[in-house]
Structure 1
Amino acid sequence: MAEHRSSQWYAGNDRNAYIHRAWMRRGLPGHAFDGRPHIAIANTASDLTPCNSHFNEVAESVKQGVYEAGGIPLNLPVVSLGETLVRPTAMLWRNMAAMATEEMLRANPVDGVVLLGGCDKTIPSLLMAAASVDIPAVVIPGGPMLTGTFRGVALGCGTDVWRLSEEVRAGNMSEAEFLKSESSMIRSRGHCNTMGTASTMAVVAEALGTIIPGLAGTPAADSRLLEASHETGRLIVEMVEQDRRPSTILSRGSFLNAIVALAAVGGSTNAVVHLLAIAGRLGIDLTQDDFDRTGSDVPLLVDLQPAGRWLMEDFFRAGGLLAVLAQVRDLLDPAALTVTGKPLVDYLDDAPIWDPEVISRREAPVQPHAGIAVLYGNLAPEGAVIKPAAASERLLQHRGRAMVFDSIEDMHARIDDPDLDVDADSVLILRGCGPKGYPGMPEVANMPLPTKLLQQGVRDMVRICDGRMSGTAYGTVVLHVSPEAAADGPLALVRTGDMIVLDVAGRRLDIDVPAEELATRRPSEIAAAAYANPKRGWEKLYVQTVQGANNGADLDFLVGSSGDQVSRESH
């Protein structure tokens, strides 16, 4: 067996080894340094990330498992991003969290790491970090919250916020009634209970092979999460002893399996930018077109909000991800491994569906074709995405007049104007919301509908944006338009009144304006004035180096891996 990485700090009798051991002897016995694997627990617990607030308890179960297997567990608080609180958007700091975690894992004497992630950006950032430092790593997803109810009706966290708030704007619900539901929305610890981005990334991470199979979707309040956390602590010690690293587990087939899972569960479009970023850290050839090629013909098998009726607690009791994957086993790469060292497909032999209302069988899907559609055209030369399962079928082929908003602030200022020149066929366009433009690519693509149309009974319209949308959202929303407006994309040239043509079946997104006329247009000065122009700090670094959504919105200098070796020693 090769010498553990931590021995580079602790082995020997020289002054440096003395210092490293002595400063850690605050409860650790002498035999902690006799060659046992030292395991970091990358802990995103934070009171300001409410979905992850229970991770200190989870970490204790991990510690017990690590100790039991002969390792030394070490709590390592890392950057935590709470989707609901941080401004302007948590996505602005995903890459920073990944970079900080990567550097701390590389800089410290650790042999393996357990990644505790829950809220949307935490699992992606942790996996990006682990991929770049390439030490044995395993994820524990924090799990969804339990289902809350309001007046006897189940509430979908996030999804019902959008739905109820639109009913208030439409005049069908009073503000007082809306606010009464607030204390019912969040019933327990855990992340959103819809198939939003947090649930999606847990599912995707398991399909990738980075989670103990069967764990994703376990509710945060379920005692089985702690049981699995203990087992994960044992597993990471085994992974270190067998040198089972991300680079030895994850393959292109792993990512294609994740795309199949994403489609089958009706997962969030945010998984596109996260999977592209993780693959980029590993040097795996993955493009946004793979999401269409691999996922577009996968049937939607899970009837969960926002695309369906049920919630994550129902998904878990109905059989969870393994029951879904068993139905599409023929679409999976049989060689793709998991953190256990066994192929993912080995866990599908005994994965029954316990409730076919929640998880459908292959022969009777919720929808025959799901996944993410990737659109190209003169409005999106480098692509845009749409989630057909969350859209209105009648709008998937559409032609309408553009109503352009030059910024989020412009949209908020005018969307409720009774004189706004829109009708049900109009196409709402919001620009300046891409990685560079805002900055950070906020979840604003699912724009609220104009009040005057809501009052007429309109509940969906075609919306186009260079930003993202929440995984808990729904509607006919084209997003991730690339290049973004702030990167001189054609979206910057659109004017109110232009005809926009959406053809999802044909995978097209176009502006019906002659190329000669477009060539003479100049970007909107109003929009350009609203683009981010930071003078210092992380935002400046981000805007100067961030890639487009079609490349995962990672920083250009972070793509790839630097390995686990520290460039220079101290002392």
Structure 2
Amino acid sequence: MWRSKDILEGPEWANVRALYKSSGFSGEELTKPLIAVVNSYNTVCPGHVVLKQLTQRVKEGIYAAGGTPVEFGTIGACDGVAMSHKGMQYILPTREMIADDIEAMTEAHRLDGLVILGSCDKIVPGMILGALRVNLPTVFINGGPTLPGRMKENNPYGGEYIDHSIIQQSEGALKSGKISMKEFEWIENNAVPTIGSCAMLGTANTMCCLAEVMGLSFPGSATIPAVYSRRQSIAFESGMAVMDLVRKDIRIKDIITKQAVTNAIKVNSAIGGSTNAVLHLLAIAYEAQIDLDIFEFGRISMSVPHLVPMIPAGQFTLLDFHEAGGIPVMMKELETVLDLDGITCTGHTSRENIMEYRNKDSDVIRSLDRPVHTRGGIAVLRGNIAPDGAVTKPSAIPEQALWFRGPAKIYESEHEALLGIRASQVGEGDVVVIRNEGPKGGPGMQEMYKVMKVLVGMELGSKVCVITDGRFSGSNNGCFVGHICPEAFDDGPIAYIQDGDIITVDVLGGTIHADADFNQRRAVRRKEAEPASGYLYQYRKNVASASQGAYIATRQE
């Protein structure tokens, strides 16, 4: 018995049936399970333009399998558009807004299952968080990555493809005279040739891949390009699949288990996924009531080497990864270290789902005995600067910068840091400290994306280290450490670093340390944070530390 029957059967619920009928639903349709089709379609975010077509195919699949689809939308903001201005303060907070939307709509209308459609950075985890709160049968489908641009000559990644992230990197190259304005304009016009999420392994594609690893989407579906017809048929099959889950009463918390999240951490390390996956998987673990902390995350991650050289940690794109076999092949290469016996949205186990897949390009998807780097894709550091942890990405850090020591150069915001870097205030050997950008301090935990891209474009990516209580984009490379906790707003040690303090970052050793006595400095009153208003006021007031996933509590502990 599905729960929408509780408000659709009998004379006492005629008013509800009448409201549905006024929208054009028939009496027959209202005798079937009502399945929410939730999408973040808009024409602002290029990763979401395709969702209108996909939604229609999902609804057709639901009808074909004996259900009745009911559609509603949620927001979907684009990190690329919001980058490096006030808009970025809202990007991470939208994750909880999306979760709230799904919880409220699904519970208010007593819906029976969910197909969630999204593509980009905070939308995917936000939808998963919302689905976990209502714990119904759930299938996820993403809109797919864009096709990459092609640039065979002077390609900074070393291959023939480029993606959106090259544009900001090229700003630094333009500033330092390494390319002309004409070359820069060509890159702008050719880096992103189609709709879809960005072609590199940023947070968007990372989270779509990890949703597939956890069993929420069809095998092989995460990497299908947005413009490929196969994505439309996967949408239809996803609509059919949710009905099978409803009949079998397989709910999202049956799929997202500790083993599934652990698998996601391991695959994220192997593919060189985004540092933002730490925030999102910790938040997912919280909502699923799974015991996981940031240091366990770090230990799990560093136990698996980096196996896929995808941009920004190599020359390949999501298209290359897809053509090599995508996530199913990656999981097959890791089958000795994964738990593949958990149930998935197909009604089968992960082991059954990947059985028929074969690696079509062992240079793109390496085996455990032939890694790109023996180190893991994500590392969690600890030290007197970050007693509650900090996050970095060893797979995207040049060998010579895995151990870095230098004097601090302090900036109180990302904006201030960009002004300083563009004014040539930062030189080789410096450790750039950007603070007051944590979840509370920002508020919103902005990405230091552009800071790193400009430094890399100026050929300082391995010669300068950037550390911050903010975060980074999945497309960043160079020497960087983010998520420093406690953040400055919470009186963390980063608030008391001074210009010239010697800072040591030891990525493989797992430490970040300053030659300073922070207890002594706490006697000096530090700068107060700028006041927040609107939703950001509520976010600052309620958000948890980045070391916990920057979630907003949804239950009493």
TM-score range normalised by the length of the shorter chain: over 0.9
Query: What is the CA deviation profile of residues 83-115 of structure 1, one whole-angstrom value per residue up to 9, with x for unaligned ones?
Result: 223413411221112112211111123100100
2:122 is aligned with 1:121 = yes
For 1:110, the equivalent position in structure 2 comes to 111
Match runs of 1:111-510 below 5 Å: 111-150=112-151, 154-418=160-424, 420=425, 422-444=426-448, 447-448=451-452, 460-510=463-513
Secondary structure of the residue aligned to 1:85 is helix
Which residue, 59, 62, 74 being the options, matches 2:55? 59
Residue 464 of structure 1: SS of its match in structure 2?
strand
Q: Counterpart in 1 of 2:70?
A: 74
Deviation at 1:201, TM superposition (A): 0.3
Match of 1:564 in 2: none
TM-score normalised to structure 1 length: 0.92
Q: Alpha carbons of 1:180 and 1:559: their partners in 2 closer, same or farther (altered >3 Å)?
A: farther
1:543 maps to 2:540: yes
Q: Deviations over 1:402-433 (max 9, x none)?
A: 01101123213322234x3x431111110011
Q: Residues of 1 paired with 2:243 and 2:535: CA distance?
A: 35
Task: Judge which range, 243-252 or 333-342, deviates more.
Answer: 333-342
Once the 2 structures are TM-superposed, how far is the Cα of residue 291 of structure 1 from its aligned partner? Answer: 2.2
**Shift of residue 155 of structure 1?**
4.3
Unpaired stretches in structure 2, ≥5 consecutive residues:
none
In structure 2, C-alpha distance between the alignment counterparts of 1:252 and 1:243, rounded to whole Å = 20
Task: Report the more deviating stretch, 369-378 or 62-71.
Answer: 369-378
- Alignment partners' CA distance in 2, 1:346 and 1:446: 42
Paired residue type of 1:504:
V
What secondary structure does 1:74 align onto?
strand
What letter corresponds to residue 194 of structure 1 in structure 2? Answer: M
Is the CA contact (8 Å cut-off) linking 1:166 and 1:448 kept in structure 2?
Answer: no
Aligned partners of 1:446 and 1:475 also within 8 Å: no
| 1:460/1:210 CA distance change after superposition, 3 Å | farther
Q: Is the 8 A contact 1:45 1:56 kept in 2?
A: yes
Whether the aligned pair in 1 keeps the contact of 2:151 and 2:162 (CA below 8 Å) is: no
Q: Separation in 1 of the partners of 2:236 and 2:452?
A: 44
**C-alpha offsets along residues 216-243 of structure 1, whole Å, 9 cap, x if unaligned?**
1111111111111110000001111111
Distance in 2 (alpha carbons) for counterparts of 1:235 and 1:341? 8
Q: Structure 1 residues 283 and 353, CA, compared in 2 at 3 Å: closer, same or farther?
A: same
Q: CA deviation at 1:520?
A: 3.9
Deviations 1:5-51 (A, max 9, x none): 1112211112xx222111211332211122x1111110110112221
One-letter amino acid of the structure 1 residue matched with residue 541 of structure 2: Q
Pairs aligned (count): 546
Please provide the CA RMSD for this pair. Answer: 2.0
Q: CA 1:457/1:200 → structure 2, altered by over 3 Å: closer, same or farther?
A: closer
Q: Post-superposition shift, 1:300?
A: 1.6
8 Å CA contact retained: 2:161, 2:315: no
Q: In the alignment, is the contact (CA less than 8 A) between 1:439 and 1:543 conserved in 2?
A: yes
Q: State the secondary structure of the residue aligned to 1:21.
A: helix
1:511 aligns to 2:532 (yes or no)? no
Between stretches 409-418 and 267-276, larger displacement belongs to 409-418
* Structure 2 counterpart SS, 1:75: strand
**How far is the alpha carbon of 1:367 from its aligned partner?**
1.4
